[in-house]
Amino acid sequence: MTEDSAVRRVHIIQGEFKVLNDPNAVLSTILGSCVAACLRDPIAGVGGMNHFLLPGSANPGSGGGDATRYGVHLMELLINGLLKQGARRERLEAKVFGGAKTIATFSNVGEQNAAFAMQFLRDEGIKVVGSSTGGEHGRKLEFWPVSGRARQYPLTGAETQKTVALEQRPVPVSKPVESSIEFF
């Protein structure tokens, strides 16, 4: 079976990450100013992708917010998910995509997202083996987590605007799980 005829297609939306060790799976997402980091351990045969909207992390005084929108949170979740599946930190390699400036009149959060991802990976000692960031149009991304192959398709102006609209809608904040543990 070839990588193009992947049996399992898993779509990642803003605020999500997935880790897979299935050679017949492909992860996909649509990016505007958001960034997706694709990491894998070629020896363990495991890889994953995240999709974040904002660089850094939430301001402590900002009333909480949804941590899944922020790069720090999703980068940590992705790395920890890979380690739980047998990856070793020193073998991780990364590819970074997205970060377009999709609306000329807005600040360039896409550039900030891409710069954050690259700096985070440098700080963690994770080798970046490929990247495609910036530009004025969004992109559709496919990543095969076991082989590390990545493919992107540029979006047209209309498709990019649709992606921008999705990125600007509020992400529902999940309620904390009720705990039955009582501390004395």
CATH number of the domain within which 19 lies: 3.30.1330.200
User: Does residue 79 belong to any structural domain of this protein?
Assistant: yes
User: Does residue 24 belong to any structural domain of this protein?
Assistant: yes
pLDDT of residue 157: 64
User: In total, how many domains does the chain have?
Assistant: 1
pLDDT of residue 107: 73
pLDDT of residue 4: 54
Active site residue 38: no
pLDDT of residue 146: 97
From the list 149, 128, 110, the residue with the least C-alpha distance to 28 is 149
pLDDT of residue 68: 64
User: Does residue 177 belong to any structural domain of this protein?
Assistant: no
User: Does residue 173 belong to any structural domain of this protein?
Assistant: no
pLDDT of residue 164: 54
pLDDT of residue 21: 97
Distance, in Å, from the CA atom of 140 to the CA atom of 30, rounded to the nearest integer, reads 4
Q: Angle at CA 90, nearest 5°, toward 134 and 123?
A: 45
pLDDT of residue 102: 78
Range of the domain at 59: 9-168
**Which parts of the chain have pLDDT scores under 70?**
1-6, 57-68, 104-106, 157-184
Q: Considering 34, 37, 74, 126, which one is annotated as catalytic?
A: 34
User: Does residue 2 belong to any structural domain of this protein?
Assistant: no
pLDDT of residue 67: 62
Residues 6+ apart with CB under 8 A from 59: 65
User: Does residue 174 belong to any structural domain of this protein?
Assistant: no
pLDDT of residue 76: 96
Q: How far is CA 12 from CA 6, 29, 62, 163, in A?
A: 16, 5, 27, 13
pLDDT of residue 161: 56
